[in-house]
A and B are shown apart, each in its own frame.
Chain A
Amino acid sequence: MLKNYFKIAFRNLWRHRVFSFINILGLTVGMTACFLIFLYVHFELSYDSFHSKANRIYRVVCDIKTPTEVIKAGGPSWAVGPHITQDFPQVEAAVRTTDDELLVRKGNVKFQELNSLWADSAFFGMFDFKLLKGNPKTVLQEPLSIVFSESAAKKYFGNADPVGQTVLLTGEGFTAKITGVMKDIPENSTVKADMLVSMSTLTRKLNPGLDDQWGNYGNSTYVLLKPGTRPGDLQAQLPAFLERRNGTEMKKINMYPTLFLEPLKDVYLRSTRNGNSTGNINNVYIFSWVAVFILLIACFNFVNLTTARSAERAKEVGIRKVVGAVKGQLTGQFIGESVLLCAISFILTLVSTALLLPSFNHLAGKTISTGIFENLNFVLILFLAAIGIGLLAGVYPALVLSSFKPVTVLKGRFSTGTKGQLLRKALVIAQFTISIALIIATIIVYNQMNYMRRQDLGFNKDQMMVINTNGDPAKDAFRNAVAGLPNIKGVAMASSVPGGGNPAAYSEIENVKGVLQIANLDLYFVDFDYIPQFKIKMIAGRAFSPDFQTDTTQSMILNEAAVKMFGYTSPAQAVGHRFKQWGREGRIIGVMKDFHFRSLQLPIKPLSMRIEPNGCNLVAIKLSTQNLPKTIAAIENKWNALIPARPFSYYFLDEFFDKQYRTEERFGKLFLNFSVLAIIISCLGLLGLASYSTMQRTREIGIRKVLGASVPNIVNLLSREFLKLVAIAILIASPVAWFAMHGWLQDFAYRIEIGWWIFLIAGLIAVLIALATVSFQAIKAAIANPVKSLRVE
């Protein structure tokens, strides 16, 4: 019996090649999209879960309340880590890390290691990063110990054993011994490092006393709780812990931290304290939904095409029933056919996923998966999903087909014209609703991207090359040498450029009531050239000027947001008032217009600027557009002459600033791709239905033509019914998409308005695509000779 089913299923697939092709193609495209999304979602959810103790590891984060604001910090003060283990027996271990960009040198091999990390000695006991060489308990114990990743070891030592060898950490001015080699940290880890330096180097050699600094922030702290410890219980005891350890100082400086425990597994997707390089649980949800929708569209195609074709199968059903089949057997047969179809699609999905994976990894910006067989469970899941889809999509058509009465179908009184038509229409509407909603969403995402890129940021980022001197003593000499080169329009030095990080300083600023108000104020150290070179506008007072001796130590410039925060109603009102910040005090000499020093997702924060040559490690060079390669080569020459110990590397500010939107850009691209897929699958279905319905109406078309209908009349007749469905879909999709995207846009402090034209364009696109799909069939039917079509009956 099974053999018979298979035989007939295969022959049916072959006889109706077009339908099978549409069905299989639609399912394959849908399943491929879903499989890729599944890999992506799985990857995003897999972050940090490979640690065997992941469920007991928490990141300690911190809200710091000042009289002015609440700062959401990604880590507690330096003292918390060492003391929390002392005070709480339920804390098994604590690890502090802080990232750095160390200049590492081994003979002539030198690299600025952008991904280096200082870490406490319990690091390898807490995390499951695999140590290939060295003792996990001791590798990071002694000061001046360094653990290399496999690739870092290769970079410096080739195939030689690095353990016991030394490298020079030039910037820090000491030699470190390599105590271990670890496997490269996997992509799906929030803790990332190419090399680890023992934290004791900092706490015992370079910065003794760091372990007791309760007011100094800037590290990440992880704690490992003993089994059975409830994090909530521990968290509830932390305020008392801080009070006991640091109460007096908190009161004195009027900054009150509150500690929270974030499960390690939530850090990547759910924490808002990671800066730019993080995932977003909403994106995971969004893509999961997109996957479900795409799959639904593909399944609807299947249901539509199969039920539309039911007339052709009706006779077979009748005969089988006459010769003794019962309904259950036939239902089984038809479901079997749809499962077979899905099984074929499954194989094709594997092939297409394997082919698409490299580009998908590229699109996602990381290696989501190295190959489809990387995890055989996934293939199994896909297979089961395919069978599940086959069952699900097959059930309805199978029930419809198997319930045909042999009496009716064998006597030819059977008409499929109206049967299931309503359902088919509803499914087409659903497909197009999803597609149109995706089109609308894509347009909005791209618009927002464009808006962010084109928005006037309030400063000039064009032709601006930035070089990090990492505080090299020769930085001023380098600056002066560059300034003397041709085709250089200006050189400025600063601690920070827009789009990068900047310090935040404990500050006291005289507010509108004349009181020194405490705030954690973002801070740029700059030189005299910075404000004019970046074309930052002054709206009150004056910019820094070498003409004023006091400017190097006693002057501060605020932005509008800061002025507002301290209660001033006009920028001019703030000028002349006092400030205290990081050991300096003086007067506010000017107010600058707000500029976007962070991404447009975030509101412009209050910002202060001061002249502080020591703090200025970045050299920002404004280039003329002429002879760019030659100019860059000249700059490199100067660098190599003056700072030979460091590798020369630079970036352009405009690209650097736009990097902040990389996540959104990827999101947009992925979204665009999947929308296109959804539309393709919907159109495949529409194509099938259109060709089917024209086929059924061949006779009607013939009669109409004999009675005088023109080709356009016929095309109009056939297209109209489908366009009606698309129109309904537009009406449903528009408000739904508006609502969803309105929510999405809330993540951006500066965002576009959702204009009515977006819906108009999306609707037009959908109508045009549908029309193109349908009219092809319609025209074919309309120009056919009516004599032929009438003879069909």
Chain B
Amino acid sequence: MIRINDLEKIYKTEEVETIALNKLSFQVNDGEFVAVMGPSGCGKSTLLNILGLLDDPDSGSFLFNGIEVAHFNERKRADLRKKNIGFVFQSFNLIDELTVFENVELPLIYLGVKSDERKKRVEAMLDKMQIMHRRNHYPQQLSGGQQQRVAVARAVVNKPKLILADEPTGNLDSSNGNEVMELLTDLNEQGTTIIMVTHSEHDARYSHRIIRMLDGQTVTENILA
């Protein structure tokens, strides 16, 4: 599904040049659950942004389903993204002004799904995540675990092929964290490819494979399953 080759990303400020990704190469297959680990500043997040088509690399190749997307313009990337990729963040990133239902509905709106179809799909998803009773609440009214479940619901409501999770349990206590990891595992078992950045060895054990990064490069790969 994903094949990157010699990917490079350099951040420049007036004084310093930071190499975030240094000729990084690896590959993720359909249906895989991959954890990316490494110390702060090793380039994990940059990698995730590029994989999520939120950012573009300075050089190198990025094949998404066999298509070279490294130099897609914003519109094309947005299009590819909304059809194929779901995101889960550490800080949930729900829109405070929208209700649970409306937050989950958002990706479908941008996909141009009709209103009654949207309703059906959102409700099914909320049911599945067991937060249907909270559908008219605002994010601030929910616990962290509930918020992250809403975020996951939002990430998967449009049935993406790939979920990118950025420390999804970072802001949660362990029981809520485990619940979220179970959710992701379920999704993976149903065929969704997952790439997850994490600091937690515990969470990483849910994955099939761990890629360890340092200074913008992969250092080791552990196959778990």
Contacts and interface: CB of A to CB of B under 8 A. Distances in A.
A603 to B, nearest CB: 66
B221 interface: no
A15 B95 CA distance: 13
Contacts of A324: 78, 81-83, 107, 110-111
B102 interface: yes
Interface string B81-110: 111000101010111111000100111011
A576 B5 CA distance: 115
Contacts of B107: 323-324
Contacts of A322: 52, 54, 81, 87, 93
B82 A8 contact: no
Contacts of B75: 326
Contact of B154 (A4, A11, A323, A407): A323
B178 interface: no
B46 to A, nearest CB: 8
B171 interface: no
B138 to A, nearest CB: 9
Contacts of A323: 82, 87, 106-107, 110, 154
Given A4-B109, A326-B78, A410-B89, A319 B95 contact: yes
A130 interface: no
Contacts of B79: 326
Contacts of B87: 322-323
A406 B97 contact: no
A327 interface: yes
A381 B82 CA distance: 41
A8 B52 contact: no
B32 interface: no
B102 A4 contact: yes
Contacts of B49: 407
Given A4-B102, A323-B154, A324-B110, A315 B74 contact: no
A411 B45 contact: yes
Contacts of A326: 74-75, 78-79
A411 B109 CA distance: 24
A15 B105 CA distance: 21
Contacts of A11: 97-98
Nearest to A12: B97
B179 interface: no
A641 interface: no
B166 to A, nearest CB: 9
A320 interface: yes
A321 interface: yes
A316 B111 CA distance: 18
B215 interface: no
Given A321-B78, A324-B110, A325-B78, A8 B97 contact: yes
Contacts of A327: 74
A716 interface: no
A407 B89 CA distance: 11
Nearest to A403: B74
Interface in B4-59: 45, 49, 52, 54-55
A75 B66 CA distance: 90
Contacts of A15: 96-97
A155 interface: no
Contacts of B52: 322
Nearest to B52: A322
Q: Which of B79, B97, B105 has most chain A Cβ within 10 Å?
A: B97
Q: Which of A323, A411, A412 has most chain B Cβ within 10 Å?
A: A323
A506 B18 CA distance: 95
Interface in A725-741: none
B215 to A, nearest CB: 19
A162 interface: no
A7 interface: yes
A329 interface: yes
Q: Which of A319, A407, A411 has most chain B Cβ within 10 Å?
A: A319
Interface in A318-358: 318-327, 329
A412 to B, nearest CB: 8
A406 B154 CA distance: 17
Contacts of A422: none
Nearest to A325: B110
B206 to A, nearest CB: 23
A320 B49 CA distance: 15
A707 interface: no
A316 B54 contact: no
A324 B49 CA distance: 14
A380 interface: no
A326 B109 CA distance: 12
Contacts of A411: 45
Nearest to B86: A323
B97 A316 contact: yes
A409 to B, nearest CB: 9
A8 B55 CA distance: 27
A604 B81 CA distance: 82
A11 B74 CA distance: 29
B173 to A, nearest CB: 21
B14 to A, nearest CB: 13
Contact of B55 (A4, A316, A320, A407): A407
A792 interface: no
Given A4-B102, A322-B52, A322-B54, A316 B95 contact: yes
Nearest to B138: A11
Nearest to B110: A324
B105 to A, nearest CB: 8
Contact of B54 (A1, A12, A406): A406
A122 to B, nearest CB: 69
A410 B93 CA distance: 7
A609 to B, nearest CB: 81
Contacts of A319: 93-95, 106
Nearest to A406: B54
A405 B83 CA distance: 19
A583 to B, nearest CB: 90
A322 B82 CA distance: 8
Interface string A394-425: 00000000000111001110000000000000
Contacts of A410: 89, 91, 93
B95 A7 contact: no
A319 B107 CA distance: 10
Contacts of A8: 95, 97-98
Given A315-B93, A324-B81, A1 B109 contact: yes
Contacts of A325: 78, 110
Interface in A297-333: 315-316, 318-327, 329
Nearest to A410: B93
A329 B82 CA distance: 14
A6 B154 CA distance: 21
A471 to B, nearest CB: 80
Contacts of B81: 322, 324
6 contacts: A1-B109, A4-B109, A11-B97, A323-B87, A325-B78, A410-B89
Given A4-B102, A326-B79, 11 more contacts: A1-B109, A11-B98, A315-B93, A316-B97, A319-B94, A321-B54, A322-B81, A323-B82, A324-B107, A410-B91, A411-B45
Interface of B: 45, 49, 52, 54-55, 74-75, 78-79, 81-83, 87, 89, 91, 93-98, 102, 105-107, 109-111, 154
Q: Closest 6 interchain pairs by CB?
A: A324-B82, A324-B110, A323-B107, A11-B97, A326-B78, A407-B49
